[in-house]
Structure 1
Amino acid sequence: MANSKFEYVKDFERPDYLLPNTWLVVRIDGKGFTKLCAKYGFEKPNDKRALDLMNAAAKAVMTDIPDIIVGYGLRIPQDLHPIRQKRVSTFSAYYVHLWSTYFPDMPLAPPLPSFDGRAVCYPSVQNMRDYMSWRQVDCHINNLYNTTFWTLIQQGRMGATEAEEFLKGTLSKDKNEILYSKFHMNYNNEPEIFKKGSVVFRDYELVEPGSDNVAETIDDLAEPLNQSKTQAENDKKRRAKARIVVEHLDVIKDDFWDRRPWLLSNKPGKIPKLT
């Protein structure tokens, strides 16, 4: 770019620093989604179409950005810190692009759906796993409340204020009892996507816990991954060949991570054989 007297404005630019050797979580949140849900008449307490749209957008982002390892909130590995805005803008673009697939009879109109994001650097594997666990616990708590709240309104014919007052101070066991005793509804039979949320990741052959392919300690996984340029390119190609899946699994227990060691090591696993 040619020098000019206007070039001084570049001095106002500031880099967006993120800590190296950490696990980066990019949390993406919808902007004004309460109004959007009302505008397009999303089903309460859960609209499967809207959830499938979110998952499809997440899969598309992971396809475009191979650095992302797992989505429940998008996480990328140590020492790979591209600007977070790329993830947020890519997610927004795919959400709008895929809208008509899931809502074919509801064309979008301005204001269009948009998302913002924040990046948090977690220094250890345990911190990162605890973050994922926190999000899944929140999913369960919120879904149980919303399911009970909207059942009281839709089937119990309560008003919103009345239902809110009715649920004040109730625990999880109380909400389960309300659903069962008043509406013959067993919350345990609700779809897993509602209770556990969705986990998006690249699919490789599962590993049996205790095998040689599993890292021995969390400390081993916390070490930065030192690779040659050739190794990094080969791993990138292997990741690109992997199938991206959406599952509704428990990410709090060790089993999810132990059977998928590639999520923490950033080393691609074996591509499953076609049967």
Structure 2
Amino acid sequence: MEEPLLRVQDVGKFFPPRERNAQPFWIIRGLTFTVAEGEFVTMIGPSGAGKSTLLNLIAQVDTPSEGEIAFRGRTISSPRSTVLRPGFDRQIGYVTQEDNLLPWRTTLDNVLFPLELRGGADAQGRARAGELMAAVGLAGFERHYPHELSGGMRKRCALIRTLLYDPPIILMDEPFGALDAQTRAQLQEDLLRLWSMRRKTIIFVTHDIAEAIVLGDRTLILSRPPTRIAGAHSIALPRPRDVHAAARQEGFAALHDAIREQVR
């Protein structure tokens, strides 16, 4: 059996009590799942289910209180970890709810920034940046600054910046949550288009059931704290997917209802 790219095994995370003699609060406990190379996994759960906490553990922004996280068969995080390595040496990309663009850099310079940190943006890197920017409608905005871009364009810039340095796995924490419905649908299309170009492994956290279905190969449902996997569904909708027509495809409504019941 092929080793999964990522394995989360019996992971738990607690926060120390705020009051004397109180018990620690376990936000996550006994959480186990795997992610295969090239798989697009969406993750959904009730508010406060520890979705962002889980991504922080995978990204090594924080360490688990129990269990372990393995990447390509190698344990990269456990309670025994003594040094945090956020992003695990550029192996793990992380797209947060904020775009985190540098306001003094142009769109192109923001996109190229990770390559500069790695040693420089060569001709191949610049060509790849141009290809990705053209794919999502940012061609012609290379010299614009973040304050001159719309919210959707800023999100596209942040996404391309992560894709450009080509990490094996990308974590996405509700990146489209604050946008209007029309912009959100366009960004979903953009993400699927970009994903189809390289088939990067993605874990995408969302509160939106329809978004979880239209994007993913598989969706995982998280329970209320202490969080565990409450359900998992393979998504058989054919690719490439039309974001606007997906809800009319056979099986969508039944899957949506099943996920909604488990999220409740």
TM-score range for the pair, normalised by the shorter chain length: under 0.3
| TM-score (ref. length: structure 2) | 0.26
Bigger Rg, structure 1 or 2: 1
Bigger strand share: 2
| TM-score (ref. length: structure 1) | 0.25
Bigger helix share: 1
